[in-house]
Structure 1
Amino acid sequence: MDGETQISIDVLSSLSQVDARDWDACACPEDGRPMDPFTTYRFLDALEQSGSVGPGTGWQPRYLVARLDDQVIACAPMYAKGHSQGEYIFDHNWAHAYENAGGEYYPKLQIAAPFTPATGRRFLTRPGFETTGMSALVQGAVQLAADNDVSSLHVTFCTEDEALAGEQIGLMRRWSQQFHWMNHGYADFDAFLTTLSSRKRKNIRKERARAQDFGGEIVSLTGDDLRPEHWDAFWRFYQDTGARKWGTPYLTRDFFDIAHRTMADDMLLCLALRDGRPVAGALNFIGRETLFGRYWGCVEDHPCLHFELCYYQAIDYAIANGLDRVEAGAQGTHKLARGYMPVATHSLHWVRDPGFAEAIGRYLMAERDAVDEEIEVLTKYGPFKRAHVEEQE
């Protein structure tokens, strides 16, 4: 239980240096499916073993593990970063300002699920050690940064509770914004549509009809239904999207093979097939309460197929499986018209230079007000009937 304890902190360069059961006792202590798979041993290990993180990637593992005697009570997926790619809460302007002032912004320390703009716990604690464990991890990370003259520490897409707790112990809190779909107990997709304005409802029905008219069939696969050849196809989609958005795809081909062996039940792959050949696909990860939309790609362009595979199929799955929400990833105001509403996301930051930290603190206060205002404005332009909005308030 929480209290005054003597805790040791280890910094590990490989996940193989900690037992998977000890890590997951902190990362996913709930019985059954974890809240999200992105901090589980199997996901982080797949990133490391596939070479998606590690030498040459700019993501060098520096996992934190807190022990009380011989028991692991807390851990965190931390990385030494040589750039700001793959984070989705961007600090490029901070880096430029820091370097223009004569400092070296990189390397920095990042506590995150790499390449994954999905909200989840970042300070992973065994039940009963929530306060002590998080405090130990924060102190350990800040001390490591200070001892090594690292410019900064960043904790991205943490939970709101973690953001509040981190702010109370001296970290700077940052607001960002995403679009999430919320399940209000809908019996099916048509029940969801009845809560929308007539114009938005008709538009979605039209989009779904156009998508289904692409000349093939759409399938949703998870668990044992996934086959290696599906990943061959999806890799082609992923490479195309990665090349257009990021220049170089973040994940290696081996990641999908490893994930197929260790995470098949955590993934939902929606594919569009023409003559039995995949021509487009969207990959989701399944949490206890949330479906996390992650990657999309195609080798043929068809009207509205992106909306169908990424947004509407995800809603169908969430309703059918009783999930509370769909997180559709970063950015994209086009999601608003499709029932995905703006919500706040959170991160935490520590900067070694006091003057620069003060300047960032002032910036974050102004940014928070801007994000709050944007969420308020966007919500007013949402697709739902006024009666439905008032009912949910």
Structure 2
Amino acid sequence: MNTVEKSPVTELVETTGHAGSEWLSRYSSSLMGVFGTPQRVLVRGSGCLVWDADGKEYLDLLGGIAVNALGHAHPFVTSVIASQLSTLGHVSNFFTSPTQIALAEKLLALADAPAGSKVFFTNSGTEANEAAFKLARRNTGGSNTKRTKIIALEGAFHGRTMGALALTSKEAYRTPFEPLPGGVEHIPFGDIEALKDAVDETVAAVFLEPIQGEAGVRPLSPEYLRAARELTARVGALLILDEVQTGIGRTGKWFASEEAGIVPDAITLAKGLGGGFPIGALVTMGEQTSSLLSAGQHGTTFGGNPVATAAALATLHAIESQNVLANATAVGEHLRSALAALPGVTEVRGAGLLIGFDLDADVAPAVVQAALDAGFIINSPGPRTIRLAPPLVLTTAQADSFLAAFPAILQTAKDAQ
């Protein structure tokens, strides 16, 4: 067994000498089975690499599902978190902190938000979308209370709390928990004519992911996003962009919607924002939208926590100062181009380092397992689709190591079927 560097909590959890199989047995005896059986027990990470309890090394091409923007154990982010935690850990929402205020100002600046724009901090993406759902409910249209409908897309994934789940389209997620909050209508993905037919004076908001990650990395065209902005503005509906997975540099830009050149009414963020530390945000654009939720109408105990906001500030600073957006663009282009040339790959989609590619057979889950055995962490959102969302600091050499290994990984998966 390879030697694995001890973490500071080694003695607390008694990791020494415990194999992954033993930890998994203890997992099944103590944790709810909502995630199934974990693929590995990971104990340490550095940059784009992680190690499991048995000492095996992996190239992390999933990044905690688009969370670890700067990889694992980034020295600046970890030092800022430790410093803040040793100074002020939590204060509740009866008070504020300099890091909370500074982060809100930074996000508004990055979004080029108009005057009167505001930020509400949460702990996750689903909480940010839940806040946005309530924001939409407040957009009633005045005394007539005529705006009651919310539009989302087929293939959408906005989270698993009840409001966010109502926006999510996958029946397997929805059915066990019905009845869900009403008034949500799902329309065909990317169909501008269907959007035109759906958006009228009864619509309070349209929720869109610029790129649907859980549906297999499916981008909406700039033309679709511009049409959505024009149609919602015409009838007084809110355009709410879910950039939980696509925001904070994931596509090589701060926000994936930048390419369309539009200003939405609200943006939801999470995942990469904290560089691995849990934090989300609802950014409301302009005074009218920002005033829809008033004092007492929404809240959170941990949202805007000093440690979480310090982590996010450190993450944004590192992304800016270390040329991370350019790296995500360049390495992403390299990966997509090389993947498209591989035998067995039929289509490649995405932007920056959010990449989906389709295979010529229904072997994606087997490919994930074969890749893991070969030392690569990837994901399969569909039977023929592979998703990559690695740290934005992934190097070309690391990308090439996966590209070189992938033909054998695919063949192993096909042979196992």
TM-score, scaled relative to structure 1: 0.24
More strand by share: 1
TM-score, scaled relative to structure 2: 0.23
